[in-house]
Amino acid sequence: MQLLIVEDDHTIAENLYDFLESRGHQCDFSPSLAGARQLLAQSRFDAIILDRNLPDGDGAGLAKSLRSTGNFVPILMLTARDTLDDKLSGFDAGADDYLAKPFALKEVEARLLALHRRQTVTAPSAVLEFGVLRFDPAAQELRLAGEIVHLAPKAMRLLAFMLPQPNHVFSRRELELAIWGSEQASSDNLRSVLHTVRKAIGSSLEIQNVHGQGYKLLAT
């Protein structure tokens, strides 16, 4: 996932950054709301880790402004404010989940992955197009240059997951979660699905292996 960490405690931010990067995610960091807004204007993120007590304001304000403009990127609030009223105000502002400090890094990642899966499942069923490939989620119909392509469900889930973000690098773990809902003991399972998809789409599109990082969908 592409993650934005908004946290002014540098020790906490560094721990989050280092851990999540080691797990195959890509992270950007801002210690302030102003910096976060600038990064959000420049890039698309799969989720935001958002502190509330920031030098230039309450993180809840950023959440509220994002929601008011139709941006529904998943937001996980991390904060020392752990009363029920604090949590309710965070949810009212638009947070999707709430985790009080101190927290376990593994739990942060687990919650982020759950938010990302939930958004993928509930995403609008708009037709997705990239190059000569066209996928209709509602009809579960895939067309290549106008011709229907028949794929097994796992291969279809892989393409449906990658199509909204062409040129984005997905880690092996992200793709496995999208296909099976859990990590796989062997990478052979993912390689088998990738082989099926590559064979189906031919030379018009490419799923490129990015060494040490993952895979991305490209037009050739």
3-state secondary structure the chain: CEEEEECCCHHHHHHHHHHHHHCCCEEEEECCHHHHHHHHHHCCCCEEEEECEECCEEHHHHHHHHHHCCCCCCEEEEECCCCHHHHHHHHHHCCCEEEECCCCHHHHHHHHHHHHHHHHHHCCCCCEEECCEEEECCCCEEEECCEEECCCHHHHHHHHHHCCCCCCCECHHHHHHHHHCCCCCCCHHHHHHHHHHHHHHCCCEEEEEECCCEEEEEEC
Work out the percent of the chain whose per-residue pLDDT is above 90.
38
Determine how β-strand 75-79 pairs with β-strand 47-51: parallel
pLDDT at 96: 86
pLDDT, tens digit, 9 for 90 and up, residues 159-197 = 888 888 888 999 998 898 888 877 788 888 899 999 999
What is the overall mean pLDDT for the chain? Answer: 87
pLDDT at 121: 54
Is residue 30 a contact partner of residue 36, using CB atoms and an 8 Å limit? yes
Q: Is the pLDDT of residue 128 over 80?
A: yes
pLDDT at 62: 94
Nearest partner of 207 among 162, 164, 140, judged by Cα = 162
pLDDT, tens digit, 9 for 90 and up, residues 20-51 = 999 989 999 999 999 999 999 888 898 999 99
- Section 68-94 average pLDDT: 82
Domains of the chain: 2-122 (3.40.50.2300), 128-219 (1.10.10.10)
Q: What is the pTM of this model?
A: 0.58
